[in-house]
Amino acid sequence: MVKKGNTTVIVGGALIGLIAAVLVKLGNPANMGFCIACFYRDIAGGLGLQTADKLQYVRPEILGLIIGGSITALVGGNFHSRGGSSTALRFFLGFFMVIGALVFLGCPLRMILRLAGGDLNAIAGVLGFTSGVILAAQFFLKKGFSLGRSYRQKAVAGWVFPAMALVLLILVVAQSGWLKSNAKHAPVIVSILAGLIVGAIAQRTRICTAGSIRDSFLIKDYTLLWAVLAIFTGAVLGNLVFNAETVHIGFAGQNAAHTDGLWNFLGMFLVGICAVMLGGCPLRQTILASEGDNDAVATVFGMVFGGAAAHNFGTAASAKGVPLNGKLLVVVGIVFAIAVALAVIHENRKNA
């Protein structure tokens, strides 16, 4: 049952799904209208951190997302410069979160969009992501896991990340050379506007894919789950209107996807664990960073370097399947996350 007051998150989620479908119609890859992990990987390529020919593009959607989140946070009185909570751990958890996402071939947001486009391989991703979130909530959060509190920092520290996004956006608009890309993309202005709108919605509603499952499981609060379902619904309707000719239901022949169910599951399982430990999925981490949270900025930098490493070291999956390096690093990531969680829980109990 939908609670009174959930209208904003439902409408916001539906708009995000619809915007993603429009971006596909205007040039973004099919079932990839808006993917946080994929777009950070592309930004890494645009900055010269990885050299995959068709994956080098400073995505205006991400830059708009950050700026839109910052403006909305500032207007709403939610912009606060803060940090100092296990910065190095957050970097590496962000790193492994993207490693898992690129083995699945998409972040949790794209997982929803892939399913909305008829890609049934995403079902294994949904099951893996849900399992990872529930495991981390049950055995980490309930046992006292916490990366520690953040502290108020100088105001200027919180503005560095949004300012960096603004500078990159100006360079992109000025066509400094980064737009000479072989990556599929929607028109720049449309992409910027889409990012600004999604950033405003995500900041205002606090949409988080991991939070939707965590809150449903731990405290029986389904607000964020309704938002996720609304994203799916908006994307389905948007695809029927704008992309009907490219949508087909099945496992084979899907865009930027593979049919290896086990590694689709395990890749998103790793993403789910990391997202809970960090306090938010890749979308939520980006919005937190836009609000002045420098711990989230460390996570974002980890995601960027994870995107670069995935292609520099051959861990990212492709339509052909998951390479051995990708399988190994997903296993390493799961072991790393569990080891960190157990160590933190032990230390927290000892200091209690």
Rounded-to-10 torsion of CA 13, 14, 20, 23 = -130
DSSP helix/strand/coil, 352: coil
pLDDT at 263: 98
> pLDDT at position 176, please?
61
User: Is the distance from CB of 153 to CB of 294 less than 8 angstroms?
Assistant: yes
pLDDT tens per residue across all 352 residues of the chain: 556 568 999 999 999 999 999 999 999 999 999 999 999 999 999 999 999 989 999 999 999 999 999 999 999 999 999 999 999 999 999 999 999 999 999 999 999 999 999 999 999 999 999 999 999 999 999 999 999 999 999 999 999 999 999 999 999 888 765 556 789 999 999 999 999 999 999 999 999 999 999 999 999 999 999 999 999 999 999 999 999 998 999 999 999 999 999 999 999 999 999 999 999 999 999 999 999 999 999 999 999 999 999 999 999 999 999 999 999 999 999 999 999 999 999 999 998 7
Domain boundaries defined on the chain: 7-351
Locate the DSSP E strands across the chain.
Answer: 82-83, 151-152
Tell me how far apart the alpha carbons of residues 96 and 332 are, in angstroms, rounded to a whole number.
Answer: 9
Q: What is the pLDDT of residues 23-47, one digit of tens each?
A: 999 999 999 999 999 999 999 999 9
CB 69 within 8 Å of CB 202 = yes
